[in-house]
Amino acid sequence: MKLLVIFFCTTFLFGCMTTPTYSPPGLTKENAIYLKADSEHDHGIFQAFDERLYINTINGIAAGDFFKGYPEDAYIKAGLTEVKVDYFQGQISSEGCVKFLAEKGKNYIIRKKRETWKVKYWVEIESDVNTKVVNLPCSE
């Protein structure tokens, strides 16, 4: 019985761990730009109700993997950036792509909106009061 309780406690604790923020090799704090995905964490242990958005690749380089998981935020370099994202809510999933010109000194957020049969993705400057969309079409 003790072993069963320890197993469930360990599984619960590992399930609550977050994936660390992705940072590409060679990136310094002086030239880093913060990018985060618009994920929802409102339902506590009932994670299937949350709408989660994970960063899959940045400019063709994997931001995570199956074992470590994929991050919800990353540091990126200035310049034209293409980010592939994965959306999950319960049994529903979707893949998407956003492309934007990252400028030094600005933080960005990848937003999503689930509609009937699809999920739309776009990028905004995080602290912008006017919520200006800054993404370009992706090359698929």
DSSP string, 41-85: --STT-GGGS-EEEEEEETTEES-BTTTB--SEEEE-SEEEEEEE
Top pLDDT among 41 and 65 is at 65
How many domains, in total, are found in the chain?
1
In whole angstroms, give the CA distance from residue 79 to residue 106. Answer: 12
Chain centre to alpha carbon of residue 82:
13
- What six digits make up the tokens of 69? 């998981």
The answer to whether residue 119 sits within a structural domain is: yes
The answer to whether residue 4 sits within a structural domain is: no
pLDDT digits (tens, 9 = 90+) for 83-105: 999 988 878 889 999 999 999 98
In whole angstroms, give the CA distance from residue 103 to residue 95. Answer: 25
The answer to whether residue 105 sits within a structural domain is: yes
> Which residue matches tokens 């609550």?
16
The answer to whether residue 122 sits within a structural domain is: yes
The answer to whether residue 3 sits within a structural domain is: no
Across 46-50, 74-78, 135-139, the highest mean pLDDT is recorded for 74-78
What mean pLDDT is predicted for residues 109-117?
Answer: 86
The answer to whether residue 60 sits within a structural domain is: yes
Is 27 strand, coil or helix?
coil
In whole angstroms, give the CA distance from residue 60 to residue 85. Answer: 12
What mean pLDDT is predicted for residues 21-40?
Answer: 84
What's the confidence (pLDDT) of residue 9? 45
Cα separation of the two ends of the chain: 52
DSSP state at residue 30:
G
What's the confidence (pLDDT) of residue 129? 65
What's the confidence (pLDDT) of residue 83? 94
The answer to whether residue 8 sits within a structural domain is: no
Instruction: Give the range of the structural domain holding residue 77, as residue numbers without chain letter.
Output: 20-136
pTM: 0.76
The answer to whether residue 90 sits within a structural domain is: yes
How confident is the prediction for the chain on average, in pLDDT?
80
What's the confidence (pLDDT) of residue 88? 86
Q: Which of 1-10, 49-58, 124-133 has the weakest average pLDDT?
A: 1-10
